[in-house]
Structure 1
Amino acid sequence: MKKIVTTIFTLIFFASLVANAQTKAKQPYSWSNLPVIAKTSFKTDTFNIVKFGAKNDGITLNTKAINDAIIACNKKGGGVVVVPKGMWLTGPIELKSNVNLHLQKNSLLQFTRDFDQYPLVASNWEGLAQMRNQSPLWATNQTNIAVTGYGIIDGAGDAWRMVKKDKLNESQWSKLVASGGVVTEDKKTWYPSEQSLKAAKLKNPGEITPAKTPEFFKSVKDFLRPNLLVFTSCKKILLEGVTFQNSPAWNIHPLMCEDLTVRNVYAKNAWYAQNGDGIDIESCKNVLIEGSTFDVGDDGICIKSGRDAAGRKRGMPTENVIIRNSTVYHAHGGFVIGSEMSGGAKNIFVSDCSFIGTDIGLRFKTTRGRGGVVENIFVKNINMTGIVGEAILFDMYYAAVDPVPLKGEKRDAPKVELLPVTEETPIFRDFHITDVVCDGASKAVFIRGLPEMSISNITLDNMTIKAKEGIDIQEAKNIKLTNVNLITSDTDPLINIQNGNVIEFKNINYNSAQLLFRISGDRNSAIKSSGLDATKAKAKSEFLAGADEKTLQINK
C-alpha cells in the first residue's frame, strides 16, 4: 500500500511539473520572462589552416586550404578551425556543422577583389529570391556553427559598391574616379564597372524568373553584390569577438535561422556604403545580440522578414529577439524594424543601447504592399546623441530613400488617400518604449500611419529629448505619452496631431512653444492632456482641415 501511495504522489508531482511547464510556455514573453536561446558546443580538436596549405603572404589564394580544413573538421565530428595571425587572402568560405572558425589575434581574413572567384548562386536579397554572387562567408542547413576569435574579416566591399558623389568631398571623389570604374551621365554616381552601371538601369535584374537565363545573370554579375555573411536555415549559431567589415552589401545576414547568439562583434562599414547594413536578422527565431558595436553605411541593427507577397508566402516572422548592451554609431537607424517585414515581427526586446550620430534613433518603417504584423516590441534604457533626423520614428510611407535628404535634394510629401484594407496592408501595434534620453535630434517623435490602418497601442514613457521639433502624430490611435520632457527650439506647434484617436499626454514638460497643439483632419477623437502647463505656450491650440475643437481636452 505504501508503495502505491508513493507511486501516486510521484505521478502527481511529475504531472504538476508538466502542467507548470506548459503554463509557462503559454505565458507571453515579458522583461521578466525573456526568450531562451540554445547555445553552441564544440569539440576541442583543432585544425590549423596552415597544415592544409594556407599561406599568409597576402598573395596566395587560400580558398581551397581553408575549405579543406573545414570539411576535414566536419567529417571528424567537428572542432575548431584555426586561422592564425597574419593576412590570409581567400575566396568564399562555406561553414559546415559542428565547426567553429576561430580567428586568432592579429589575423586578417581578406576576401579577394577578383569577382571571378565568387560563383553565382540562388540566394535572397531584400526579401526576394535572387541570383547573387556567393557570399564570402556562407552556410546553408547547418547546425552548431560559429565564427569566433579576435581577428578581422574584410569583405572587399569597396570593389563592389557604387558610391554617390554627394557623400564624398571633392578630393575623395576625384581619387575614386581616378581609380577606375565608370561615372553616370549626370556625374552623380560612380560604379566599379561598366557592367555594374548597365545592370543598375534594369528593374531588379537579380530576381529569379523563368525568363532569365544563366547567360543573362552572367551579363549582370558585377551588379549582384553579395552580403558578407549569409547563413540560411541554420540552427545554433555563435558569432563572437570578430570584426566584420567592408561588406559588398549587408554585413551580417542570418536568414531563416534559429538560436543565434551574436556577442561582442564589431560590424564596420564606410558611412557612405550603399546598403551597408550592420546586421539584418531576417525570419529568424530565438536571437541574442549583446555587447556589440555597429558603425555602418545603412541601418545598424535591423529586423526583417521578407518583402511583399514573397515574404507573406514564406510566413516566417522574426521573433523572440533580445538586443542589449550594444552601441550604434553612424547608421541610417540605430535599431530598426523593416521595411521588408511582410512575414511579421514579434516579441522583440531592446535594452541598454546607445545610438551616436545615427540618422534616426529608433526606426520602424513599412509601406503599402508589405502586409505583415509587427507587434509586441519592448524598448528601454536607450541613450542617443547627435541624431540627424527623428529620435523615434514610426512610418508607414517608407519610400526606399535615405532617411535624411542630401543637400539640394527635394522630396514631395506622400499622397494621402484612403485605400481598402487587404493582405497587403501592414500593421504596427503594441510598442512599448521607456527610459529614453536623447541629446540632439531634428524631431523628437514622428508617428505616421495609413488612413486605412492606424498605428496603434503605442506607449512612450519617461523620456527626455532635446530636438528642434516636438511631436508629430498622424493616423494613429491609442497612443499614450507619459513623463516626457521636451527641449525644443520654440516650435510651432510643439505637438501636431492629424486624425488621431484616443491620444493621451500625461505629465509633459517643455521649455517653450509658439503653439502648443495643432489638430487637423475630420477623424480626431479623445485627445487629452494632463499635467501639462499650457501657460508657457503663446497659443494653446489651432484646428484645421475639419478638426473639431471638442476633440481636444487640456487639463491641469
Structure 2
Amino acid sequence: MKNIIKSLVITIIALSFSSANAQDYYNVLKYGAKNDSSKLATTAIKNAIDAAVKKGGGTIYFPAGKYLTGPIHLKSNITILIDAGAELHFSDNFDDYLPMVKSRYEGVDVTSFSPLFYAYKAENIAIKGRGLIDGHGKKWWDFVEGYKEGQERSKWQHTFDDLNKDILLPDDPKQMKRGFLRPPFIQFMHSKNIIIEGITIQNSPFWTVNPQFCENIKIYGVTIFNPAKNAPNTDGINPESCKNVHISDCHISVGDDCITIKSGKDAPGRKMATPAENYTITNSTMLSGHGGVVIGSEMSGDVRKITISNCVFDGTDRGIRIKSARGRGGIVEEIRVSNIVMKNIRDQAIVLDLQYAKTTVEPVSERTPRFRNIHFSNITGQVNQAAFLNGLEEMPIENITFSDINLDAKSGFDISNSNRIEFHNVQINTEIGAAIKANKVNNLTIDNVKSYSPLANSPILDLKNVNDAFIYNSNPFSGTGIYLRLSGAETKNISLGNNNFRNAKMPIKKEEDVKEEVKVISGDK
C-alpha cells in the first residue's frame, strides 16, 4: 500500500511539473497570429508576451510558417523561440514602427523609430531557434539613398524633430538634422542577461544586432545575411557600450562591417562615458563586409579588454580595423587578436587609424583619441596591404606588437606617428615596396623579419625619421638587394645585432640626410 501511495505521489508531482512546463510556452497561433502571413501579427505577439509576463515569464513560440509582424517588444524573462521552418517577416510600413522610442543611433542618444526587436531595461531575455527573421530593409535603404537635402520633409522627420529638440549633437550633426534614422533590427537598451542563438537574420534596415548599455550578452551560432551592395550601414553585430559580451560560432556576410565594437560618438559618447569592455569574439567566419572586426570610429566612451581569435575573414574589405579621429576622445586599449586567417582581403589586413576623418592638429584634450596596448599574433593570409598604422602628431599610437605573422601582400606595413612598435617572427612577401615602411616612429623593435620574394629595387625595411630602433635576428632570403634603408634627418639611435646579411647585396643603405652612424652590437655577418 505504501508503495502504491508513493507511486501516486510521484505521478502527481510529475504531471504537475509537466503541466507547468507546458504553460511556459505561449504559442502565438493561440493568440490570433496567422502563420500564412495573411494578417499582421503584432497585436497577437504582444498579447502572448503580456500573458507570459503575468505568469512571471515564458517562451513565446512560433511554429513553422510565415508570419507578418511589426516591432516586437520584449519584457523581462521572455524568450522568443522561432522554430525550424518558421519565418518572421517584418513589415516595411514605416508607420508600424511608431510611436518612436528611446534609442541610440551611431553613438548618439535619440528618440526614433522602434527597432524591430526592442527591449528597454529588461533582463533574462532571449531570441532563439532555427528559424528566419527578415527585416525587409529595401524600402528603408531606398528612402535614405534617395533622400535629397532640401526636399520636403516627411511626417516621420517632423515627428523626429519634435522629439529630439534638446539632444546633444556630435561634431558632424548632418544625420541627426536630416531626421530620418532607420531602426536597428535587434536593439536591447540598458538590459542584461541576453541570449541570441541559432537564428538566421537577413535584410536589416540598419545595424543588425545592436545591444546598447547592456551586460552579460551571448550571441551564439547566428547567421546574418545582408546584401553586399545597396544596403547601407547594415553591419552584422554591433555591441555598443556593453560589458561582458561573448560572440562565437557566427557566420556573417553584410553590406558594412561584420562585427563592430563601439562606445558612443564625440561629446554624446563622452557624456554617457560607458565603455565597451570584456568582449570575446571567437570561432566565426566573415565573408562580405567592409571589415571583419572593427573598433570605432564611435569609441568616445572607451573600448578595452577585447579578445578576437580563431576567425576566418574571406572577402572582407579589411581584416581588423580600429579607427577614430580628432573630436572623438576616448581610449582603445588592451586588445588581443590571434589565430586569424585572411583571404581575398581587398585592402588592409590590419588598420589602426587615428585620422579616419580629415582634421587639423589641435592641442591634446578630452577630444583627443588614443590607441595603445594592442597585440596581434598568429595571423596568415593573402591581402592587398599588410597593415596601415596612422597616429596623430600630438598623440602617436603606442605599444603595438606583431608576432608570428605570415602575409602575402601587394604592399607591406606602413607605419607613421607611432611609438613602441615591435615585430617578432614576421614574414611579408610583397609585390611592390618594402615589407615594413616606418616614418616618425620612436622605439621600434624588429626581430626576424624577412621576405621570401625580395624585390631588386626595394628594401625589406625602409625607415625614415625613426628614433631608437633595434634590428636583430635578420636572415635575408637569397636575392635580397637592400635589407635596411635609412633616411630622414631625425633618424638616430639605430642598432643592429645578431644578423646574417650574407644574402643581402647591400645590408644597409644610409641616405645623406642621416647624420648618425648605425651601431652594430655583435654577431652581424
TM-score (norm 1): 0.78
Distance change in 2, residues 1:486/1:205 (3 Å): farther
Secondary structure in 2 aligned to 1:277?
Answer: coil
Q: CA deviation at 1:199?
A: 11
* Aligned-partner Cα distance in 1 for 2:390–2:269: 23
- 2:330, 2:370 within 8 Å by CA — same for their partners in 1? yes
Q: CA deviation at 1:207?
A: 9.2
Partner of 2:228: 271
- List per-residue Cα deviations over 1:215-249 (Å, max 9, x = no partner): xx99966x321111100010100000011211111
- 1:347, 1:377 within 8 Å by CA — same for their partners in 2? yes
Partner of 1:76: 55
Partner of 2:25: 46
Identify which of 483, 502, 507 aligns with 2:425.
483
Secondary structure in 1 aligned to 2:459?
Answer: strand
* Aligned-partner Cα distance in 2 for 1:195–1:291: 45
Unaligned runs of 5+ in 1: 1-41, 163-180, 183-188, 400-413
Letter of the 1:237 counterpart = I
Unaligned runs of 5+ in 2: 1-19, 169-174, 501-525
- 1:85, 1:107 within 8 Å by CA — same for their partners in 2? yes
Q: CA deviation at 1:507?
A: 1.1
* Larger of the two Rg values belongs to structure: 2
> Sequence identity, in percent?
38
Secondary structure in 2 aligned to 1:467?
Answer: strand
* Aligned-partner Cα distance in 2 for 1:240–1:254: 14
Letter of the 2:404 counterpart = N
Letter of the 2:109 counterpart = A
What pairs up with 1:2-21 in 2 under 5 angstroms?
none
Secondary structure in 2 aligned to 1:424?
Answer: coil
Partner of 1:366: 324
Partner of 1:151: 131
* Aligned-partner Cα distance in 2 for 1:503–1:464: 19
User: How much is the aligned-residue C-alpha RMSD, in angstroms?
Assistant: 2.9
Please say which of residues 538-547 and 348-357 is displaced more in the overlay: 538-547
Q: CA deviation at 1:158?
A: 0.9
Distance change in 2, residues 1:498/1:200 (3 Å): farther
Partner of 1:458: 400
What pairs up with 1:421-460 in 2 under 5 angstroms?
421-438=364-381, 440-460=382-402
- 1:357, 1:385 within 8 Å by CA — same for their partners in 2? yes
2:97 paired with 1:109: no
Identify which of 42, 47, 58 aligns with 1:63.
42
2:464 paired with 1:506: no
TM-score (norm 2): 0.83
* Aligned-partner Cα distance in 1 for 2:61–2:156: 39
- 2:213, 2:240 within 8 Å by CA — same for their partners in 1? yes
What pairs up with 1:207-356 in 2 under 5 angstroms?
208-210=164-166, 223-272=180-229, 273-356=231-314
Q: CA deviation at 1:548?
A: 2.6
* Aligned-partner Cα distance in 2 for 1:219–1:305: 21
2:356 paired with 1:398: yes
- 1:339, 1:367 within 8 Å by CA — same for their partners in 2? yes
Distance change in 2, residues 1:142/1:200 (3 Å): closer
Partner of 2:463: 519
Q: CA deviation at 1:501?
A: 0.8
Secondary structure in 2 aligned to 1:279?
Answer: coil
Partner of 1:171: none
Partner of 1:385: 343
Q: CA deviation at 1:372?
A: 0.8
Secondary structure in 1 aligned to 2:270?
Answer: helix
Letter of the 1:441 counterpart = V
- 2:450, 2:477 within 8 Å by CA — same for their partners in 1? no
- 1:159, 1:192 within 8 Å by CA — same for their partners in 2? no
Letter of the 2:367 counterpart = E
Ranked by relative contact order (alpha carbons within 8 Å, sequence separation 6 or more), the top structure is: 1
Distance change in 2, residues 1:375/1:549 (3 Å): closer
Distance change in 2, residues 1:84/1:378 (3 Å): same
- 2:467, 2:492 within 8 Å by CA — same for their partners in 1? no
- 2:270, 2:330 within 8 Å by CA — same for their partners in 1? yes
